[in-house]
Amino acid sequence: MNEVNKKLKAEVRKSCLNQRAALGEQERKSKSLIIQQRLWDSLDFQKAQTVMLFLNFRDEVETTATAEAVLASKKRLILPRCAPKGVILPLEVSNLALDLELGAWGIREPKLTNVEVNPLEIDLVVVPGAGFDLQGNRLGYGGGYYDRFFERLKNSVPKVALSFESQIIGQVPVDEHDAKMTKLITEKMVYVFSRKG
C-alpha cells in the first residue's frame, strides 16, 4: 500500500468511526436490532449451516443476539480470534458463557482451547468495518486481518457487512488486496453488490 493511500485511509477511517461514535447508546441498540433482524431474514443466513460472525466491540453494530440465534437454530457458530502476523483463527463456539475470553484489545474472542475450523467449511461470513461505500468496498480497521482471511474461503461464500447508515461514504479508498462485500446491511437497507452465493 502506498503512503498516500495509507494516510487517506487513516483519515477516512477516523471520520467514519467518529460518525459511528456519535450515535447514542439507545439509538445504537435500536438500530442494531433492526440490522440483526434483516440479517436473520436473509436467505444467506437461513441457508448457512456454518456461520462466522464477529462479536461487537465498542460502538459496532451489536451482534450478541445473532450469536445466540445461530446457536439456538443448531447452526455452527465460528468466531474470529486474532493471532500474530495479522492472521484470523476461525474457532468454533458452542457456549457464549464458557467459550469466550477478552483478547488483547478487550474484544470478546474464543479461547484457544476451542476447535479451529477449516475456512472451506464456512457458509457465510458476517463482518464489521469502519466505513463502506455503495460499490461494495469496505474500510477495515487497518490490520488487514479480514482481507487475508477472505482468501481462504470458498469463492461462493457471501461476505455480509453490518453497519449503521451513517458509516456509508461516497468512496472508500481501496488497494488491490481489498475484498468487496457481497452485501451491506444497515438499519435502512440491504445493499446487494454481487449475485454470488
Taking the domains of the chain in order of start, what are their residue ranges?
3-192
The verdict on whether residue 138 carries a ligand-binding annotation is yes
The verdict on whether residue 104 carries a ligand-binding annotation is no
pLDDT of residue 1: 52
The verdict on whether residue 140 carries a ligand-binding annotation is yes
Mean pLDDT by 10 residues, the chain (197 residues): 79 90 94 98 97 95 97 97 90 96 88 96 97 94 88 95 96 86 97 71
The verdict on whether residue 142 carries a ligand-binding annotation is yes
The verdict on whether residue 38 carries a ligand-binding annotation is no
The verdict on whether residue 116 carries a ligand-binding annotation is no
The verdict on whether residue 93 carries a ligand-binding annotation is no
pLDDT of residue 195: 56
The verdict on whether residue 143 carries a ligand-binding annotation is yes
pLDDT of residue 80: 96
pLDDT of residue 178: 83
The C-alpha atoms of residue 186 and residue 167 are separated, in whole angstroms, by: 9
The verdict on whether residue 10 carries a ligand-binding annotation is yes
Q: Which CATH architecture group holds 3-192?
A: 3-Layer(aba) Sandwich (3.40)
pLDDT of residue 156: 92
The verdict on whether residue 139 carries a ligand-binding annotation is yes
CB 103 within 8 A of CB 82: yes
Query: At 26, which amino acid appears?
Result: Q
The verdict on whether residue 148 carries a ligand-binding annotation is no
pLDDT of residue 194: 67
The verdict on whether residue 55 carries a ligand-binding annotation is yes
For the residues of the chain, what is the DSSP string, one character each?
A: --HHHHHHHHHHHHHHHHHHHTS-HHHHHHHHHHHHHHHHHSHHHHH-SEEE-----TTSPP-HHHHHHHHHTT-EEEEEEEEGGGEEEEEEES-TTTSEEE-TTS-EEE-TTSPB--GGG-SEEEE--SEE-TTSBEE--SS-HHHHHHTTS-TT--EEEE--GGGB-S-----TTPPBPSEEE-SS-EEE-----
